[in-house]
Amino acid sequence: MIKYITMLIVLSGILGLAHGASTVDVLTFDSEQQQRRYKALIDEFRCPKCLNTNLSGSDAPIALDLRRSVYRLVRNGESDQEIRDFLQQRYGDFVLYKPPFAGRTAFIWLIPIGLLLLGVAVLVALQGRGRRQQAAGLSAAEVQRLDEILANDD
């Protein structure tokens, strides 16, 4: 029985390695320039399924499809901008790490600025509040009374 369990564990490990090896793209290019463009583009685009992972670092099936699309477009002679436009049109601004400033993406650019301004306003308000609450000094009568109390304790 132990022999069969060991055999199953080894077999599952081999199958796991085979599956991991299947995520490596084996592509051929006409030139070194095409290969560099392809690598730069798949590093530039975000995987639609993954959170903050580019196409080159993702194992998701959609990332594989997008890498194939980029490969096909590079091989067909499309320019980098045409490839960007194609993917943006098909998958939206999410595939771009640097979305363009437009009406529908303005909140992406303006929220950090708004939060920064809000933080500065809170700091200024707290600092002004601290200045207004300065320690009150003792009157002459209070100082004399304090001296008497301290003298009596000795």
Please give the mean pLDDT across all residues of the chain: 79
For residues 103-118, give the mean pLDDT.
80
- Residue 116's pLDDT band (cuts 50, 70, 90): very high
Mean pLDDT of 68-95: 88
Could you tell me the maximum CA-CA distance found in the chain, to the nearest angstrom? 99
Res 119: pLDDT:
92
CATH superfamily of the 1-100 domain: Cytochrome C biogenesis protein (1.10.8.640)
Angle at 151 between CA 142 and CA 135, to 5 degrees: 35
Rounded to two decimals, the pTM is 0.52
Question: How far from 17 is each of 14, 58, 61, 127, CA to CA, in Å?
Answer: 5, 17, 18, 60
Rounded to whole angstroms, how far apart are CA atoms 63 and 59? 7
Q: 93 and 100 in contact (C-beta within 8 Å)? A: yes
pLDDT at 34: 87
The domains of the chain are located at 1-100, 101-133
Tens of pLDDT along 121-145?
999 888 877 666 555 677 888 888 8
